[in-house]
């Protein structure tokens, strides 16, 4: 997600849904590895050890990034890093237990 207004203090549930209806005004998604402009979610394989998910928020020196509607995550990352003043990172761990009767 890019161009989140500096005044934003939280995201609505389903803010990552395709279409961007629940994004803060002015914010948009970039195309992810799944090929869509949305949040793919945390979904490690059942029974696998918990995976790390790293969330980073950047403060930028520009009011907004001028990205095309079909921008890739790589292009967004390049533009973010080129304009970053600072960042904060949160690392979360998430795992899914094996379904009953299944072995990892």
pLDDT of amino acid 104: 56
Spatial contact of 29 and 20, defined as CB atoms under 8 Å apart: yes
H or E, element range at 78 = helix 73-83
**What span, in angstroms and rounded, lies between the C-alpha atoms of 69 and 62?**
18
pLDDT of amino acid 70: 87
- What residues in the chain have per-residue pLDDT under 50? none
User: Does the pTM exceed 0.85?
Assistant: no
Spatial contact of 50 and 73, defined as CB atoms under 8 Å apart: no
pLDDT of amino acid 103: 59
Tokens of 78: 């390049």
pLDDT of amino acid 102: 63
Beta bridge partners of 52: 93
């Amino acid at each position: 997600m890019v161009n989140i207004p500096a005044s934003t203090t939280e995201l609505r549930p389903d803010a990552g849904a395709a279409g961007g209806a629940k994004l803060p005004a002015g914010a948009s998604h970039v195309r992810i590895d799944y090929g869509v402009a949305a949040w793919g979610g945390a979904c490690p394989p059942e029974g696998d050890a918990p995976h790390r998910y790293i969330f980073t928020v950047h403060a930028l020196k520009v009011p907004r990034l001028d990205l095309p509607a079909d921008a890739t995550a790589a292009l967004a990352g390049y533009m973010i890093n080129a304009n970053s003043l600072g960042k904060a990172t949160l690392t979360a761990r998430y795992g899914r237990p094996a379904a009953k009767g299944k072995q990892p």
